[in-house]
Structure 1
Amino acid sequence: MIMMILGATVFSVNGNTYDKLTKSTNFSWASQTVIGRQPVYQYLGHGENTINIEGKIYPGQYGSRLELMILEQSAGLGIPMPFFCSSGLSLGAWCITSFKEVDTCFMDTGDPRSIDFTIGLVQYASLADYLTEVAGNLLKSSVDNLGI
């Protein structure tokens, strides 16, 4: 069963799996100092969305080191990747900002029996997306003002 797809990497219950997915959403506020009072704040808008994925694979049993290597190499290309959840719903484009791998429990060959990994992601928002949103808001405002 597929858990998610990031770029060309499939995370599934029977293969490359993750144990923990943490999503954070930030919101931007600017503070203004007021003499003799607490600062006042102004909402500036939506900040960045981030996701941290933590997992473990057991090469030869569950998951593949090759898949992790492909994911790490893909991150180095500097191209946002499509991100899909298990239902097939697109979560947009995401950029890998960090990749950590910890090998443990080594075999006689020196290969790890267990690999823990952590992947840091940030949601990609392009200038084109922003301009499209602004143009749509301006059009809606103009139509509302004209009473159409």
Structure 2
Amino acid sequence: MMLALGMFVFMRQTLPYQSMQRSADYSWASNSRIGKRDAFQYLGEGEDKITLSGDLYPELTGGKFSMLTLYAMAEQGRAWPLISGSGWIYGMFIVSNVSETGTVFFEDGSPRKISFTLSLTRVDESLAALYGDIGKQAESLVGKAGDLLSKMGA
């Protein structure tokens, strides 16, 4: 496994990307000052984007089905957890753009090569907030399980 976006796993058999680019923006406000350089104030994190690109060869790697799965995920309008093969959690991402170009065609018109680009945008506040939410959910589940056990024992 190279990467997982929700339940979609990027690997050689599905969508093996050859390039991964990450770009993180940070917001600053500037205030003009007389006779001095502008003063800047940090406002917080801006957009965090990841772009995956590569080439598919449907005879050897994933093909149209893998691409259709990504289109379907994008059309759901949901955020998905993005996790690397080494276990690194990038956060919650939306699919902001999917593009593909088919070249070198078979007689039936299907491409032998599909070049793709997938753009993802992070939408969660922070990993700390994400873990905090998971912690609250776990506490709630433990409480509900305890209530259920006490009702069963009563």
Global fold match (TM > 0.5): yes
Give, as a single letter, the amino acid of the residue that structure 2 aligns with 1:12: M
Q: TM-score, normalised by structure 1?
A: 0.79
Q: Which has the higher helix share?
A: 2
Shift of 1:48: 2.1
Q: What residue ranges of structure 2 are gaps of 5+ in the alignment?
A: 134-154
2:122 corresponding residue in structure 1: 123
1:114 corresponding residue in structure 2: 113
Helix, strand or coil at the partner of 1:69 = helix
CA distance in 2, matches of 1:57, 1:126: 33
What is the count of residue pairs matched by the alignment? 130
Give, as a single letter, the amino acid of the residue that structure 2 aligns with 1:34: R
Q: Deviations over 1:5-37 (max 9, x none)?
A: 112321113442001001111111101112333
Helix, strand or coil at the partner of 2:62 = coil
Q: TM-score, normalised by structure 2?
A: 0.76
Work out the percentage of aligned pairs sharing the same amino acid.
Answer: 32
2:145 corresponding residue in structure 1: none
Q: What residue ranges of structure 1 are gaps of 5+ in the alignment?
A: 134-148
2:102 corresponding residue in structure 1: 103
CA distance in 2, matches of 1:27, 1:83: 21
Dislocated runs of 4+, deviation >3 Å:
none
Helix, strand or coil at the partner of 1:22 = strand
CA distance in 1, matches of 2:104, 2:32: 55
